[in-house]
A and B are shown apart, each in its own frame.
Chain A
Amino acid sequence: MKRLLLGLLLASPVLVFAQGSVVNTQNQKIVGMAGAGSALFIDEASMVYSPGALAKMDHNAVQVGGNAIMFRSAFQEVGSMDTYRTRSQASTPFAAYATYAPDGAFWRAGLAVYTPFGGGVDWGNNWPGRYELNELSLRAIFIQPTVSFKITDQFSVGGGFIYNVGTVELGRVLPAFNADGSPSTARLTGTGTGTGYTLGAHYHLENEFAFSVTYRSKVVTSLNDGDAEFRVPQSIAGNFPNTKFSSELPLPSSLSVGIAFPVAEKIKMAVDGSIINYNIYEQLAFEYESDRIPNTVSEKNYQKSYTARVGVNYQAKEKLALRAGVGYIRTPVRENFVSPETPDNNRYVLSAGVTYDITPKWELNAAYAFQHILPRTTTNTAINLQGRYETYVHAPGVSVSYKW
């Protein structure tokens, strides 16, 4: 029977902060332009999108905002008529910012707390991929003190220290069958922390042409003391003790550049591009404290991801700005490594957004982004599941800023 116990955990869990869980919704203005606008918008959220630009703000501000992100994935096994969909659920990344500088200072400091990665899928208990994953919720919260300096009036730099708190919760079934024929279950939950940094520079000309470059380091999040819980038939329970596990979840580094320029009196355009170094996901290892649960290593083999985004901002009225954008994101997930956690593929983004200045001090932002992750037929190397995935992501969001 020993071999059963080794065979059961063959497939390693799919804990990756992958493209599918990149939400990138820290600023509703930028969400409204499909992710473009890092060079264009100079406000408290620049701490995330362009830390170099922060020093150019001419006021203090606090902002809170959030999104309701809904991943709606569908799966169809090759040759099957049945389509399975993820249950409707929303994950809620948030962002909060506060920034301060004395009047006329050449520097500005701030604190950003935000959720750059986070997502949840729930495929339910009866879909063909359940031996890899039933449900997953994954979230990274970054706490980032930031400081930015003007070198000249037009050129400024900035940087921040990132402290990450990551949480993960994952459920799947195991091929050991109960008396009623149902499979066993495994649940992994854990919290980890990690650190990193971000650096950026921002440059603009009098005619409002602006340029931004931002680098965010990788953030290696160590998950120690995670809980692994197994529900198996009593007769093999001795081989499946509930135990602790540890793993490392690296968040990839990224380099982003953005330009912004006027195209008409009230219309500005922004173009952004980035490289996300997902190639750090070569493999993923899990170590269990109990030696009865074999450690696992699984190949991930990700490649770099690239994004391109274009948006326009239209100052319709003094107090009202409208915007829209389109974007394209190339998947980091190679053909046979697509997993139900993030059934990833190249994707398009469409978005619209609005800013309304309620008073000179209060600003309201709203945006809606829609992502279409293109259909992809793959054979998953971990469990040999052959099928086709397609995903829509809906991300409406709002934020409120107070300026003084």
Chain B
Amino acid sequence: MTGAGDRAQGPVPPDTAGLLRRAAPVAWLVLVWVLLWGTFSWANVLGGLVVALVVLTVFPLPPAPGRGWLRPLATLRAVGRFGTDLVVSSLQVAWQSLEALRPGPPIRSSVIAVPLASSSEFVMAVVTELLSLTPGSVVIEVRPEERTLWAHVLGADDDAAVAAFREQVARLEADVVAALGRPAAPVTYAPGTDGHAAHREGS
């Protein structure tokens, strides 16, 4: 593990992984900088490095929660599934928008509480973000201390739809946990949760 980082030369610091983790946002900002300039040149990289360091010194980020790296295969699968969800639900909401033009009772929705299996706030944030990205569901309240999020789901007008949405979130969460890897996304059982997402992941 020591010496694995290409940025950590010299006297080996005790916390190589931590250093790498702190280097990640710098690398990301430099990448954005270079992309904004549009052309790769060493002047751009150096300028980006300076800007990134200044920005991160002035506005320090909270420590990243993860240990270890994304797992590539699981990440690919999660991205693929999410893409499918995105397309399907976009078409669904498009249909519902057109359907609402017809005279008749307006469309009904639900505000659904979804308990999560993972105790990690980071997983919660990612799941929230992904759910809000998908048309048809918007997370309107998050309470990390209860490990529960509340989502408004368009067109969920019976108990079956509510249960289906909970199932969808559980699958999404399992995907996220699988992609992040267990150390970064601990799953512990709360007394109230069923932990079905954790079961699927546990194999």
**Is A bound to B?**
no
List B residues at the A interface (Cβ < 8 Å): none
Interface residues of A (CB under 8 A from B): none
